[in-house]
Structures are given as structure tokens and as C-alpha cells.
Chains A and B, each alone.
Chain A
Amino acid sequence: MPLSAVQTFSDPDEYAAAIRAANTEFAVTGRGHFTAKLIRIDLHRLWMQRASDNLPRISHPTNIVGRAVVSFRTQPGPSLLTDGLEMQATDIVRHSDGQSYYRRSSGLAAYASMSLPVEVVVSCGAAIAGIDLTPPKDPLIHTPPASAMMKLQRLHAAVGRLAENAPEIIANPDAARGLEQALIEAVVGCLEDRDDREPRLAQGQHAIVMRRFHRVVEENTGDPLYIPEICKAIGVSESTLRMCCQEHLGISPKRYLLLRRMALTRRALRQAEPDATSVTAIATRYGFWELGRFAVVYQALFGESPSAALHRPPN
């Protein structure tokens, strides 16, 4: 049964949890009041999302295994990068099957995604345009002919608007099938005659470094990590890691680790029962031992004190 949902968020964690892509992790890197909106539409085999969020941030989504995913910006704006590759509003990113990637924005970001089971996308590519649409090994950015991209943008936006204003139409199985056909045709039209930007040799290397980096980071949520230690675990020099982080995250690894730990602490504070725990207990769990300094950084980042976050009732 096709369905759609439109949600707005003021909490980055709730937003990250609602985006379809397993284990999306989200670290806001800019200050201000976070707001985001997500439209999720599941047709029959085609799933699509339209998302927008307003603050500079880094997310680390993992694509669902067995689904071919494309994503694109829905409006021009502050820079938006996928694994260090700048996305223009005229571009489309073909993602690799089941892989994770970093996406960072330097401000308001509005983007869309579409996914289909790999076997469906492969057979549609062959049937409609005689092309191979097997997901690439690393994410690829492609600039389709302007008219094909505009058509995709138009149709995707129109379906998003249906989800907002007339979800009954999306819920109708016949209508959903028609929408799906039109959208698949539009996306295949964008990927015909593609002149995939040849990934730089270094790009694949850097992506591997960053995947390892993420693995190390993920395995150590509690303790603060030290850069030399991480470099040893990954097997790269500090300057290489620094370069890769600059490319994929836009910040140094140290800064990223701090922001990430802060975001985790905030999530824990928001989820904790104020009667059963304390700011001190939670902050030290995430390696913040200098509590005065922690509170200052926390306040600067999130615009409220840690104890306010702890005591605020859930949205």
C-alpha cells in the first residue's frame, strides 16, 4: 500500500531517525535554532524523500543494502557535499549499494532522494534506455542534460506537493503506479548518455579512509579519541586523515569528534529522566570531565544549558 508522510522537526536526532537510510548520524556544526522538514513517499517499489534542514551539519547515512539510490539538490544554495564532492542543483548523485557516506552542508540544504531495488533499476535501465544502471562502487556525480534534470526536479516536486496537499492520491494504488512510472522514466532519462565525472584516483582512497575513520569512531562512543590513536587504527598519517576530513567533513578530525560527542551527549540528555540521572553523570559518560568548560561549549553550540536540555520535556 503506497503511503506518504510529511513531518517537521526541531530536534536533529529525531530528524536523523526519520530519514530513511539506516543509522543516519547527524552532527550540527553551526549555531542556531534547528528546523528540518521531511517528506517521505513510498510508492510501490520506488521510495522517495524530500528533505530540508537549515543549519550547517554533517550527516553520515548508510544506504539500505540492495537498493539503488540517487540523490540531488532541489534548490541551489549553500554548499552541499557528498563524500567531499560538491553537489550542484544540476547534478545527480548515484550512490553505491549499501555504502555509507558523509554529507555536509554549510547552511540551508534542500535535497531529494529516490531508491529502487537494484534488480528493478537494472531492468528498467535496460528496458527503457538500454543502459546499465548497476549502482557504482563509489558515489558518482553526474550532470544530466538540463531538460532531463528539470523534468525530474519538476516531477519530484509535484509528487512532494501531492504528499503535502493530497496524500489520498498517493495512497491510491493506480495513481501510485502511474507516479512511479513517470518518475522512473524521468530518472532514467537523467542517466542516459551519462558522462560520469571520472572519480579522481584519490577519491576512492579518501572514501576508504573515511569509512575506516567512521568505523573507529563508531566503536568508541564513550571515551574521547586521540588522533594518533585513530591514525594508527586506520593505518594513515595524520596529515592524510586531516586532508580527508577536510574534504568530507569540512573540519578537522578533532573538531568533528568534539561535535559528535557533543551531539551524543545532547541526545542522552534529551532522552534521560531528570529524576534518575544528572548532567554530570551523562557528561562524564561521554568523556567530558571538565564540566565547567563542557557547559560553556554546550551552551554555545545548542543555545541552552545542559541542565535545561535534561529538564526539557520531550517534544
Chain B
Amino acid sequence: MPSSAVRTFTDPDDYAAAQRGVKSEVTVIGRGNFTAKLIGIGLHRLGLQRSSDNLPRTAHSVNSKGLTIITFRTHPGPSLVRSGVEMRPTDIVRHAEDQAYFQRSSGSASFAAMSLPEEDMAAIGEALAGLDLTPPRDAMLVTPPPGAMAKLQRLHAAAGHLAEEAPEIIVNPDAARGLEQALVEAMISCLVDGEVREDSVAQRHHEIVMRRFWRVVEENPEQPLYIPEICRKIGVSESTLRMCCQEHLGMAPKRYLLLRRMALTRRALRQAEPDVTSVTAIGTRYGFWELGRFAVVYQSLFGESPSATLRRQPE
């Protein structure tokens, strides 16, 4: 049964959790009130998503297995960089299967995703004289002919608008089938006639470094990590790690680690019961021993004190 949902968020974690076909972690790096909107549409086989968020942030995403996923920007705007490569509104990213990557924005970002089960994409490719449209081993940038891209943008936006204004149409199985046909056709003509740019050898190398970086970071959520230690675990020099982070995250690894730990602390404060725990307990759990300094940084990042977060009712 086709369905759609339109949601708005003020919490980056809720926003990240609502993304479909992907496991995401969002770390906001700019100050201000976070707001995001997510339109999710499930037709018969095709999934569509339109997302927008307003603050500079990095997101780490892991795509679900078995899905062919493409993403593209829906509006020009502040830079939006995936795996160190700027996403232009004229480009489509063909995601690799089960791929993990960083995407960062320097301001408000709007982007769209489409996903189709791999076997469907394989069947479409076969019907089109043996083209392989299943997920590539490494992500690929495709620049479709402008007309094809404009059409895909138009139809995707129209589907998003239906989800907002006339969800009754999307839940109609015939209408959903028609939408799906039109959108799949538009997507395929973008992919088939597009100009492919594969990542350079250096880019791939940097991606590998960043994947290892993520693994080390993820395995150690609680204690503060030291850069030399991380470099040793990854097997790269500090200058290489610094360069890769600059490319993928737009900042130094140390800054990212601090912001990420801050975000995790904030999440823990939001989820905790104010009666059974304290800011001190949570702050120190995430390695913030200098509580005065922690409170200052926290306040400047999130616009409220840690204790206010702890006591605030969940939304």
C-alpha cells in the first residue's frame, strides 16, 4: 500500500532517525535553531525522499543493503559536499551498495533521494540492452543531459508536493503506479544518458581513510580520542588524516570529535530522566571532565545550558 509522510523536526537526532533506506548520524556544526523537514513517499517499489535542513552539519550515512539509491540536490545553495566532492544541482550521485559516507553542508541544504530494490534495477538494466544500473562498487557522479535532469527534478518535486497537499492521491494504488512509472522513467533516462565521473584514485584512497576513521570513532563513543592514537589505528600520518577530514568534514578531526561528543552528550541529556541522573554524570560519561568549560562550550553550541536540556520535556 503506497503511503507518504511529511514531518518537521527541531531535533537533529529525530531527523536522522527518520531517514529511510539509510542509517544516519547528524552532527550540527553551526549555531542556531535546527529545523528540518522530511517528505517520505513509498510507492509500490520506488521510495522517494525529500529532505531539507537549515544549519551547517555533517552527516554520516550507511546505506541499506539490497537497495539501489540515487541522491541529488533539489536547489542550488550553500555548498553540500558528499565524500569530499561538491554536489551540484545538475548532478546525481549513484550510491554504492552498503556504502558509508560523510556528507556535509555549510548552510541550508535540500536534497532528494530515490531508491529501488536491486533486483528491480537489475531487471530494468537488462531490459535496456544489458546496462548495469545496480549499485556500483564505488559511488559515482552522473551528470545527466540538462533536459533529463530538469524533468527528474520537476517530477520529484511534483510528487513531494502531492505528499504535502494531496496525500489521498499518493495512496491511490493506480496513481502511485503511474507516479512510479513516470519517475522511474525519468530516473533511468538521467542515468542512461548521463556523463559519468568516477572518483579519482586519491579520492578513493581518502574515502578508505575516512571509513577507517569512522570505525575507530564509532567504536569509542565515550572516551575522548587522541589524534595520534587514531592515526596509528588507521595507519596514516596525521597530515593525511587532517587533509582527508578537511575534505570530507570541512574541519579538523579534533574539532569533529569534539562536536560529535557534544552531540552525543546532548542526546543522552535529552533522553535521561532528570530525577535519576545529573549533568555531571552524563558529561563525565562522554569524557568531559572539566565541567565548567564543558558548560560554556555546550551553551554556545546549542543555545541552552546542559541542565536546561536535561530538564526539558521531550518534544
Q: Which residues of A contact B (CB under 8 A)?
A: 151, 154-155, 157-159, 161-162, 165-166, 168-169, 172-179, 181-182, 185-186
Contacts and interface: CB of A to CB of B under 8 A. Distances in A.
8 contacts: A165-B157, A169-B158, A172-B178, A173-B178, A175-B181, A177-B175, A178-B174, A182-B166
Nearest to A157: B165
A177 B161 contact: no
Contacts of B169: 155, 158-159, 178-179, 182
Given A168-B155, A169-B155, A154 B166 contact: yes
Interface of B: 151, 154-155, 157-158, 161-162, 165-166, 168-169, 172-179, 181-182, 186
Nearest to B162: A158
A175 B168 contact: no
| Chain A binding surface, main DSSP class | helix
Contact of B178 (A158, A165, A176, A186): A176
Nearest to A172: B178
Given A158-B169, A162-B158, A169 B176 contact: no
A154 B175 contact: no
Among A161, A174, A186, max chain B CB count under 10 A is at A174
Contacts of A173: 178
A182 B155 contact: no
A182 B172 contact: yes
Contact of B175 (A161, A166, A175): A175
B177 A174 contact: yes
A168 B175 contact: no
Contacts of A166: 154-155, 157-158, 182
Nearest to B155: A166
Contacts of B177: 174-175, 178
B161 A161 contact: yes
Nearest to A162: B158
B166 A155 contact: yes
B11 to A, nearest CB: 29
A158 B174 contact: no
A179 B178 CA distance: 10
B181 A174 contact: yes
Given A155-B168, A169-B182, A174 B175 contact: yes
